[in-house]
Chain A
Amino acid sequence: MHLQKCVSFFILKMIRLCMKRVESVNILEIQDLTKKFGDFIAVDHMSLSVAEGEIFGFLGSNGAGKSTTIHMITGLLRKNKGTIIVLGKNSEKSATFIKRNIGMVPQELAIYEDLTAYENVHFFAGLYGMRGKKLHERTVEALKFVGLEGKEKIYPRNFSGGMKRRLNIACAIAHRPKLIIMDEPTVGIDPQSRKYILDSVRKLNAMGCTIIYTSHYMEEVEEICTRIAIIDHGKIIAEGTKEQLKSLITDSKLIVVDVKSPEAVDLAAIQAIQGVSNVQLDDQTIQIHTELGVNNLNHLIAHFIQNGIEIRSLDEREPNLETVFLTLTGRNLRDA
């Protein structure tokens, strides 16, 4: 009987230990997180988790609550309700520990124009307690990582937009954080710098960093993120891998029509055609979301012909994240 008790106790201990290990796999856990600004609810009872080693995409329109959530994770804002656990530590009890292990790449450039590239990274890395040779090595390493080697003595005011963005990243990674939060890191930069940054994100991830990535650019998120959450009005409305998210809208398809005179298109009339759930004009193309299983292609073509609108091309596309976002929120991400 005594032996049986001992075995039960041992098994129970092992189960608890295993559970603890499973728990620790999540680098970030948010439960019931709420933030209000007066009557406005910026984050509304949000819960999510990010596993170690993930590149977690955070999608949402302006004012959806992404930055507010990020600022609460990094300790810049106080939450009204809920819990935030980073690396197994509660944000209220272990704020300093959490801050030491997070690297924040803010949406707006947060670098000193009056300090050189080296001095910028050196200063911010020094805030994490490093000094001397180690600090110097980490500074040089971070600058090299973002492709700014040889530009150490240059002031950021002489940098291009893309170089400034890369310096912005270097300042966040020199202390080798376990979790890196990137808030729109590629806004307003050239394609070459964007590619460099996306490659850097992948490299950081390969080196063991977990990354939370927010962007307006759906293709970026689709390209690099292993899991994605869509946030709207402070709530997570969908979460999963891109395949899982796309599978949410298997009941619709996208028809893209390229026309010669888009100004002549009557969107309301197209919307009225049977099966059409959403119509949008994007430059020269008309994006028509229609229900799957409804054969309305003939009606659509007839509408254009009857109205004297010349069709240049017509394409039926598979759903992508843009379609998912549009279907779930009723808005186009970039226009939102």
Chain B
Amino acid sequence: MQDIFWLMRKIFIETFRSKKNIILYLFFPLFGIAIAFIAFGQTHSQSLAVGIVNEDPGKITDETIDYLHTKTGIDVQALKRDKISEALTSGNVDAVITIEKGFAEGILRQHPGHITVVSIKGNSVTAMLKATLYQYMDNLVALSTAANGDAEQFTMMYEQYKQTEFGMQTTEMGDLSRQFNMTQTAIGFLIMIMMISASNLSEIILKEKQERTYYRLLASPITTKTYITANLLVNMIVMIIQFLLTLLILTGVFHINLGIPFWEICLVMLLFSIISVGLSLVIITFANSRSAVGALKNLIIIPTTMLSGCFWPYEIMPKVAQRIAEFLPQRWILKTLTQMQEGSAIENLYMNFLVLFAFALAFFLIAAYRFSRNNSTKNFI
């Protein structure tokens, strides 16, 4: 154990002597918070821009759209189907509601549907819009039920319903979706930094091999296991500091409601740290040189992080990309955090945790196998 501490001490001194590394490992993860503030920091005072694609023109549909116009905080604008992606990606609208053919018919037949909601701002926005719409649609369905599906009777009852006066007291609720989105954006960025940090720290093993200090170490009473363990522990400590620092600043300084108990989010991120270390070891066992590590890092970490929805909502990605994302650990981390924010209890997410453990196990087994093979033949002659 003393040997492990001795090696860890050396790695810490060597790594954190460089100011560049201090910035990279300790301050860079905090950029995610800045990005989250840029993306979501001011949206609470602005309305949600919603594009409506109306493919079922008619009285019921028009009334539904008018209803949305009456809602405070929602700016509705008409949109054509072929302009959906452009409007979303350009930021002209935050969400798009598509009212498909058969919407009015569905209401009258008491089978509501034919409506889709997509948003660049994630689940919380689509959920809010759906809740607003479904509440209105439920009322229409109730009227249709009372009118026995008779269109004329329904129209008459609907006109009366509109003219009814209600005494209503409005209380503004805190908008947690914004805070949840900020947390997700900050965590998305943190995930990428953690993976890069893990690879950089594991790269030290390769650096030592190239600079031959690794062989001097192994000529001393230090074993390969001791050396790798020390490197893993340093890697884990750095990543724990990274996510703790980010989460503490989010909650302590910016008073962001994470929507998840602190220890639960720490548990998920700890699991992700283990996965990152495992993946970083796999990368270095497949690379013959440090430049190869750099290339593999660029080839693996950044594309998979983008594909997992760390930088934009998973929902707006094409279906093929969404299917690929299901095989990536970053996606499962974000999925778990989203489900926790939506109120799922940690014990109900055992499948997510099993998948994450499986990722960690697979990476460590591959790395162990590759290490054992690498060590059997070295360029010693």
Q: Does A associate with B in a complex?
A: yes
A→B interface (CB under 8 Å): 37, 42, 63, 65, 67-68, 71, 74-77, 96, 99-100, 102, 104, 106, 108-115, 119, 123-124, 126-129, 171
CB distance from A276 to the nearest CB of B (A): 34
Cβ B219 vs Cβ A111 within 8 A: no
**Interface residue from B3, B18, B212 paired with A114 (Cβ < 8 Å):** B18
A113 to B211, CA, bound (A): 10
B→A interface (CB under 8 Å): 2-3, 6, 10, 13-14, 17-18, 211-213, 215-222, 377-378, 380-381
Cβ A37 vs Cβ B219 within 8 A: no
A108 to B213, CA, bound (A): 9
Cβ A111 vs Cβ B213 within 8 A: yes
**Interface residue from B18, B219, B378, B380 paired with A104 (Cβ < 8 Å):** B219
- 8 pairs of A and B residues whose beta carbons are closest in the complex: A110-B216, A127-B220, A104-B219, A110-B212, A74-B219, A99-B221, A108-B212, A110-B213
Residues of A within 8 A of B222 (CB): 127
Chain A residues touching B, majority SS: loop
Residues of B within 8 A of A115 (CB): 10, 13-14
- A67-B380, A77-B380 known; A100 and B213 CB under 8 Å? no
CB distance from A224 to the nearest CB of B (A): 23
CB distance from A164 to the nearest CB of B (A): 12
Residues of B within 8 A of A71 (CB): 215, 380
A65 to B381, CA, bound (A): 7
Cβ B380 vs Cβ A127 within 8 A: no
A312 to B159, CA, bound (A): 125
A267 to B25, CA, bound (A): 65
Cβ B221 vs Cβ A129 within 8 A: yes
Residues of B within 8 A of A114 (CB): 14, 17-18
**Interface residue from B6, B17, B216, B378 paired with A77 (Cβ < 8 Å):** B378
Q: Could you list 15 examples of A-B contacts with CB < 8 Å?
A: A71-B215, A75-B218, A76-B380, A102-B219, A106-B216, A110-B215, A112-B10, A112-B213, A113-B211, A114-B14, A115-B13, A123-B10, A127-B220, A127-B221, A128-B220
Closest to B14 in A: A114
Residues of A within 8 A of B217 (CB): 127
Residues of A within 8 A of B219 (CB): 74-76, 99, 102, 104, 106
A79 to B196, CA, bound (A): 38
- A114-B17, A126-B6 known; A37 and B381 CB under 8 Å? yes
Closest to A75 in B: B219
Closest to A122 in B: B10
Closest to A98 in B: B221
Cβ A119 vs Cβ B221 within 8 A: no
In this complex, the member of A67, A76, A100, A108 whose beta carbon has the largest number of chain B beta carbons within 10 angstroms is: A76
Cβ B213 vs Cβ A37 within 8 A: no
A76 to B223, CA, bound (A): 10
A113 to B6, CA, bound (A): 18
Residues of B within 8 A of A128 (CB): 220-221
Residues of A within 8 A of B216 (CB): 104, 106, 110, 124, 171
CB distance from A274 to the nearest CB of B (A): 40
CB distance from B267 to the nearest CB of A (A): 35
Residues of A within 8 A of B220 (CB): 99, 124, 127-128
CB distance from B213 to the nearest CB of A (A): 5
A102 to B18, CA, bound (A): 33
Residues of B within 8 A of A108 (CB): 212
Closest to A181 in B: B219
Closest to A62 in B: B381
Cβ A100 vs Cβ B14 within 8 A: no
A128 to B6, CA, bound (A): 11
A75 to B212, CA, bound (A): 15
Cβ B380 vs Cβ A68 within 8 A: yes
A69 to B131, CA, bound (A): 76
Residues of A within 8 A of B221 (CB): 96, 99-100, 127-129
CB distance from A217 to the nearest CB of B (A): 20
CB distance from B128 to the nearest CB of A (A): 52
Cβ A110 vs Cβ B211 within 8 A: yes
Residues of B within 8 A of A102 (CB): 219
A220 to B222, CA, bound (A): 32
